[in-house]
């Protein structure tokens, strides 16, 4: 989201790269879901690439790093590395790779390979301090002496995320990389890889991660909800765009006029350092505000699918709509069959007797309830609550003065008699 807003704010290009070098975790349906989600949010991309299709470029970079001595083979198994880390922890030492592979001679490597071992390849960090000015965090310094040399190539020859990402950033001339603060340490290693390949180093910005309303950690799928589930639950894309663009900033969480308007307001300086809270209730409130402002013509096709075929019904129910999935249930108060709740049969019978003749309009409810009040002596809640229950079977809902003329006299009369109508 922030990448897109930044790119559009500065008239740049938004690069969508599918990081699919991990073939076990990368499937066509995952890519399709990403494209679908971004399209729904309105965030179109200017450049598209799949890492797996750029293997030749990654291999050339790997060979260059091997030739320059920045990439070296290591032969430890996962179990051996795990045992080594546990020993280091037991000795109260940081679990950093000890570079034992650098001490291997050509004969040692030949012997290990003769035993059937295959090398994985590590990038040799400089073990010095890497500094950069982060566009969100300010000046950052990471001492790579405290980091393990990262594995860039697996034993089976497949690349991990790091090297392909750097190579792609170089080849596509990426100027800015905006990502979560959990990548800060990775950035130090990547900066050294950029330098080892003789490339210009992009600008970096690391934003605080989202956490739940109660401070709990959230996954990359926004807690337990995927974007598809959020969409299917009736959240509008502009509501989610606005919420994500404003959450964690010094701006109030308000509804943006459009994605372009949100981009125009974007500024790294507005983003705080504290973790941003993702509160579904706040998002629902923003979504409700958006729906309440939508005219019938803008929603006509979508509303038709949900049983709303005219503007009057939409105007009657939309003040009570928090998400689009509410529409069907509320529309059914008029278009469907309701099983009434009759609190007082005698009261309902008297109200039925006093129903005026049609045509009805929004003044009918007031005139009718006044007549019922005069005849029965009921006032306030004792007057309105039993009528609402009889006509809608709900404790609350849309304004009755708007619903009544849409229900019509025949349906209203049947419900007052306790009949499902």
CA 342 from centre of chain: 44
**Residue 371: its pLDDT value, please?**
98
DSSP letter assigned to residue 202:
P
Q: Which residue has the tokens 């509160």?
A: 279
pLDDT tens-digit map of 259-306 = 999 999 999 999 999 988 888 899 999 999 999 999 999 999 999 999
Collapsed DSSP state (helix, strand, coil) of residue 79: helix
* CATH number of the CATH domain containing 199: 3.40.50.620
Sorted by sequence, the CB contacts under 8 Å of residue 5 that are 6+ apart come out as 245, 262, 263, 266
Q: Rounded distance, CA 323 to CA 330, Å?
A: 11
Q: What percent of the chain has pLDDT over 90?
A: 88
Same domain, yes or no, for 284 and 392? Answer: no
Collapsed DSSP state (helix, strand, coil) of residue 198: coil
Q: Average pLDDT, stretch 57-71? A: 98
Same domain, yes or no, for 96 and 16? Answer: yes
**Residue 224: its pLDDT value, please?**
45
* CATH number of the CATH domain containing 272: 1.10.1160.10
Q: Which of 104-108, 211-215, 223-227, 358-362 has the lowest mean pLDDT?
A: 223-227
Structure tokens at 405: 């003329």
pLDDT tens-digit map of 81-99 = 999 999 999 999 999 999 9
Q: What percent of the chain has pLDDT over 70?
A: 98
**Residue 211: its pLDDT value, please?**
83
Q: Examine the fold and report which residue of 181, 207, 233 is the final residue of a domain before the chain moves on.
A: 207
- Biggest alpha carbon distance in the chain? 106
Structure tokens at 123: 């990038």
Q: Average pLDDT, stretch 45-67? A: 96
pLDDT tens-digit map of 122-169 = 999 999 999 999 999 999 999 999 999 999 999 999 999 999 999 999
Would you say residue 55 lies in a domain? yes
Q: Count of domains in the chain?
A: 4
Would you say residue 340 lies in a domain? no
Same domain, yes or no, for 109 and 229? Answer: no
Other beta carbons less than 10 A from residue 146's beta carbon: 12
Same domain, yes or no, for 124 and 68? Answer: yes
Q: Rounded distance, CA 230 to CA 323, Å?
A: 10
Q: Examine the fold and report which residue of 151, 179, 207 is the final residue of a domain before the chain moves on.
A: 207
Residue 156 backbone zone (phi > 0: left; psi -120 to 50: alpha; other: beta): alpha
Please, are residues 143 and 129 in contact by the beta-carbon 8 Å criterion? yes
Range of the domain at 236: 212-293
Q: Rounded distance, CA 75 to CA 153, Å?
A: 12
Same domain, yes or no, for 270 and 167? Answer: no
Would you say residue 37 lies in a domain? yes
Same domain, yes or no, for 150 and 73? Answer: yes
Would you say residue 41 lies in a domain? yes
Q: Which residue has the tokens 């809640």?
A: 381
Please, are residues 144 and 191 in contact by the beta-carbon 8 Å criterion? no
Q: Rounded distance, CA 126 to CA 93, Å?
A: 20
Same domain, yes or no, for 54 and 127? Answer: yes
What angle is formed at CA 284 by the lines to CA 218 and CA 244, rounded to 5 degrees? Answer: 50
Examine residue 213 and say whether the peptide bond preceding it is cis (omega within 30 degrees of 0): no
Would you say residue 421 lies in a domain? no
**Residue 225: its pLDDT value, please?**
57
Same domain, yes or no, for 157 and 272? Answer: no
Same domain, yes or no, for 115 and 84? Answer: yes
- Buried-exposed string 373-412: b where 16+ CB fall within 10 A, e elsewhere: beebebeeeebbebbbbbbbbeeebbebbbbbbbbebebb
Same domain, yes or no, for 90 and 162? Answer: yes
Q: Examine the fold and report which residue of 307, 335, 363 is the final residue of a domain before the chain moves on.
A: 335
Confidence of residue 309 (pLDDT cuts 50, 70, 90): very high
Would you say residue 412 lies in a domain? yes
Same domain, yes or no, for 174 and 232? Answer: no
**Residue 325: its pLDDT value, please?**
87
pLDDT tens-digit map of 371-393 = 999 999 999 999 999 999 999 99
Other beta carbons less than 10 A from residue 100's beta carbon: 12
pLDDT tens-digit map of 195-251 = 999 999 999 999 998 887 777 776 544 444 578 888 888 899 999 999 999 999 999
* Residue in 15, 18, 14, 25 with CA at minimum distance from that of residue 51: 18
Please, are residues 331 and 296 in contact by the beta-carbon 8 Å criterion? no
Sorted by sequence, the CB contacts under 8 Å of residue 295 that are 6+ apart come out as none
| Complete DSSP assignment for 212-239 | ETTS-B--TTTTT--HHHHHHTT--HHH
Same domain, yes or no, for 240 and 103? Answer: no
Sorted by sequence, the CB contacts under 8 Å of residue 262 that are 6+ apart come out as 5, 241, 242, 245, 256
Please, are residues 64 and 198 in contact by the beta-carbon 8 Å criterion? no
């Amino acid at each position: 989201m922030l990448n897109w807003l930044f790119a559009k704010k500065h008239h740049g290009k938004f690069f969508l790269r599918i990081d699919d070098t991990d073939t076990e975790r990368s499937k066509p349906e995952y890519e399709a879901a990403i494209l679908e989600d971004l399209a729904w949010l309105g965030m179109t991309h200017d450049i598209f690439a799949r890492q797996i299709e750029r293997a030749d470029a990654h291999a050339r970079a790997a060979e260059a790093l091997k030739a320059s001595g920045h990439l070296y083979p290591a032969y430890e198994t996962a179990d051996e590395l795990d045992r080594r880390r546990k020993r280091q922890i037991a000795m109260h030492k940081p679990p950093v790779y000890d570079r034992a592979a650098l001490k291997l001679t050509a004969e040692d490597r030949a012997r290990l390979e003769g035993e059937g071992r295959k090398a994985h390849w590590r990038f040799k960090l400089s073990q010095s301090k890497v500094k950069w000015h982060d566009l969100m965090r300010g000046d950052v310094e990471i001492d790579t002496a405290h980091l393990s040399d990262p594995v860039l190539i697996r034993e089976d020859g497949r690349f991990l995320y790091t090297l392909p990402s750097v190579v792609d950033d170089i080849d596509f001339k990426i100027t800015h990389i905006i990502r979560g603060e959990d990548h800060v340490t990775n950035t130090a290693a990547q900066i050294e890889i950029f330098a080892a390949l003789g490339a210009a180093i992009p600008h970096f910005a690391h934003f605080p991660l989202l956490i739940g309303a109660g401070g709990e950690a959230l996954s990359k799928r926004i807690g337990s909800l995927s974007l598809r589930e959020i969409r299917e639950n009736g959240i509008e894309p502009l509501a989610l765009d606005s919420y994500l663009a404003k959450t964690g900033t010094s701006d109030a969480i308000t509804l943006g006029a459009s994605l372009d308007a949100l981009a125009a307001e974007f500024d790294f300086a507005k983003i705080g350092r504290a973790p941003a809270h993702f509160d579904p209730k706040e998002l629902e409130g923003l979504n409700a505000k958006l729906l309440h402002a939508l005219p019938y013509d803008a929603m006509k096709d979508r509303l038709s699918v949900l049983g709303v075929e005219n503007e009057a019904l939409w105007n009657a129910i939309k003040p009570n709509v928090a998400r689009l999935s509410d529409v069907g249930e509320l529309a059914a108060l008029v278009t469907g069959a309701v099983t009434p709740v009759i609190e007082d049969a005698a009261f309902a019978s008297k109200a039925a007797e006093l129903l005026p003749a049609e045509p009805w309009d929004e003044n009918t409810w007031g005139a009718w309830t006044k007549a019922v009040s005069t005849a029965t002596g009921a006032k306030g809640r004792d007057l309105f609550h039993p009528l609402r229950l009889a006509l809608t079977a709900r404790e609350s809902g849309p304004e009755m003065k708007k619903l009544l003329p849409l229900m019509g006299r025949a349906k209203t009369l049947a419900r007052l008699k306790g009949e499902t109508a």
